[in-house]
Amino acid sequence: MKKLDGKVAIVSGSGRGIGRAIAMKLASEGAKVVVNDLDAAPAEQTVADIRAAGGQAMACAGSVTADGFAEAFVKTAIDGFGGLDIIINNAGYTWDNVIQKMTDEQWHSILDVHLTAPFKILRAAADYFRHQSKLEAEAGREVFRKVVNISSVAGTGGNAGQANYSAGKAGIIGLTKALSKEWGRYKVNVNAVAFGMIRTRLTEAPAGGDASIDVEGRKIKVGVNPDLLAMMERSIPLGRGGTPEEAAGSVYLLCTPESNYISGQTLICGGGLSL
């Protein structure tokens, strides 16, 4: 029997990168997964790959910051798979600048995706969690559910040029701690994972030069200068950046039954480096 057999998970931002690796990992351990991405194509590709590997998944494409998305995301899991046990708030991107050059749009966009969107998703799940917990308690059953919010070492220690991202990732840790206290009575473990340098399209610029991603019509520059990337990796005790699969492993740990008495904590997945 797999660790997550019978569980239903929603994973935001899981069409690519770390989110995709998380969705694949949870599915490989038996969870039924609702995959989300801003664009439908990568979400459907992750769903297809999960199904090809013998798992169960469905897509819920769209922006996590859109009005009504949180409710639709939760409803997709409950209607499509009959419940909701695991929430992974992973979706996000960076839009960097020093503070004197950072626009209001940069500030609010990053706070919206990294902090407000997770808040809305968790709020949308609250009534279901409360209702199920009551039914299970009346039946004399103790059933644990899991929330893993994705933070960053920028949120635990700050990072120059990322006032918006650092604030959002620090805020998600505060939200995690608050919800762990509110939802303990419902047997919901609420934890966070703060990633260090994980090698994804957001960190690895192509050899030909600058790269960008399209976020709702905005071109956002991504990638780190290769020389800077190499210098950053030398500062990591384990000697390199992490893989998306390694990042997913840290999230999976907090979804297993072995984590049932862990709540309100932030696990740093950074190869030994914490800012």
Establish whether 165 is a catalytic residue: yes
What DSSP line would sit under 84-123, residue for residue? Answer: --EEEE-------B-GGG--HHHHHHHHIIIIIHHHHHHH
Residue 19 tokens, joined:
């989110």
Residue 162 tokens, joined:
């990322």
Terminal Cα-to-Cα distance of the chain (whole angstroms): 39
- d(C-alpha 133, C-alpha 125), whole Å: 12
What are the φ and ψ backbone dihedral angles of 248, each rounded to 5 degrees? -65, -35
- d(C-alpha 18, C-alpha 266), whole Å: 18
Catalytic residue among 93, 165, 186, 261: 165
- d(C-alpha 76, C-alpha 74), whole Å: 5
- d(C-alpha 4, C-alpha 32), whole Å: 9
Residue 269 tokens, joined:
């997945």
Residue 101 has a CB neighbour count (10 Å cut-off) of 9
Question: Shortest CA distance to 12 belongs to which of 31, 36, 33, 30?
Answer: 36
Residues serving a catalytic function are 165
